[in-house]
Amino acid sequence: MAFSNITGQKQIKLRLAAEAQRRGSGAYMLSGPVGMGKRLIAEEFAKALMCSDAGADGACGVCTNCKYFDNFTTPDVTRVYEPSETKMIKVDFIKDNVVAESYLKPQFARTKTFIIDFDYLGVESQNALLKSLEEPKKDVVFILTSSNTDAVLDTVMSRVTEIKLDPYSEEELEQIVRANCPDLEDSKIKSAVYNSGRIPGKAISLAMEDSGVSLRHEINSIMIAMPESSYIDVLEDYLEVLNGFKDDAKIIASSILLFLDDAGRLINYPECRKINNEQDREAIENFVLTNKHITTLKLGRCTEAVNTFLRALEVNSNFDSTASAMLLRIHEELKK
Ligand SMILES: [Zn+2]
């Protein structure tokens, strides 16, 4: 991957590629709202700094240093991203992993690079970095990112070169969304872009929702609740949810089938490594454990109900009646 693989931000990419070729030291602050692609650019810039043959498009992608970078095995790049257990990064972590580390020589590359997401740095941690930022050693580059520079100390801002990300054009946004959701229709891509406030991350998540990710999650919740549900729940609440997605009947069907497949796998192989709905795995495991009456035979009959639903819609049957027939059959099989 090189800079040309990142859509948009042409001027910034040219500038950073030139900086990487110059191999100077310094501290940069990439700023812009959440979802603008700051991290993507920061990573690509770091890779260009590592590369032994960086050109006008950044990293070459084939040298040993590029390989180390891609495999996260270079000791010359330190990433400080969101912490896993605390809300903010602890100041001691910054002292040990950034400040102390920045006095050491790079091992493989000519530059030692630190990528630091300032959204997770409180005042104390920022203060701990001041001296390092003021006089970076000649082979050290700091790439900082922030989605809110108002929360960054003035003393930090005065020590860094701020690079504000440029707005993306509509075309660029469409290209970004298409790359992430290749099967989505053009009209849905356009509407995701239109509602995104020109933020690519937001456009992608809207497009993904449109691709059925949120529908899948809703379907999973319905299926999980099915054993304890009443006819009224099924015919009123669940039917209403399905009705809301009636234009995506195939996604409704495939979502239910994926759930049934997952439940079947977990009944037969509780330790199986991967299921379709990894994001809801715990809930589906719990569903299988607490509903011992549900057998693979019952799941198979639910699958038949879904296939009947699909066949009925192909001949243009009424959505309401076919969907309710399917839900009732599934309920009959799964209820306690
Ligand atoms: Zn390279």
Q: Kindly list the domain boundaries of the chain, sorted by start residue.
A: 3-164, 170-210, 213-334
Q: Could you tell me the distance, in angstroms and rounded to a whole number, from the CA of residue 97 to the centre of ligand 1?
A: 25
The answer to which of 132-136, 282-286, 309-313 has the lowest mean pLDDT is 132-136
Instruction: Classify 3-164 by CATH class.
Output: alpha beta
Average pLDDT over residues 194-221: 85
- What is the per-residue pLDDT across 216-236, written as a single tens digit (0 to 9) for each? 888 999 999 999 999 999 999
The answer to which of 148-152, 211-215, 301-305 has the lowest mean pLDDT is 211-215
Q: Could you tell me the distance, in angstroms and rounded to a whole number, from the CA of residue 24 to the centre of ligand 1?
A: 17
Q: Could you tell me the distance, in angstroms and rounded to a whole number, from the CA of residue 51 to the centre of ligand 1?
A: 4
Helices 319-334 and 249-268 pack at an angle, to 10 degrees, of 10
Q: Could you tell me the distance, in angstroms and rounded to a whole number, from the CA of residue 64 to the centre of ligand 1?
A: 7
Residues 47-60, buried b or exposed e (16+ Cβ, 10 A)? Answer: bbbbbeebeebbbb
Sheet strands side by side (includes 161-164): 77-80, 112-117, 140-146, 26-31, 161-164
The answer to which of 35-39, 91-95, 213-217 has the lowest mean pLDDT is 213-217
Q: Could you tell me the distance, in angstroms and rounded to a whole number, from the CA of residue 43 to the centre of ligand 1?
A: 13
Q: Could you tell me the distance, in angstroms and rounded to a whole number, from the CA of residue 125 to the centre of ligand 1?
A: 32
Q: Could you tell me the distance, in angstroms and rounded to a whole number, from the CA of residue 63 to the centre of ligand 1?
A: 4
Do residues 36 and 200 touch, judged by C-beta distance below 8 A?
Answer: yes
Q: Could you tell me the distance, in angstroms and rounded to a whole number, from the CA of residue 13 to the centre of ligand 1?
A: 16
Cα–Cα dist 252/117, whole Å:
39
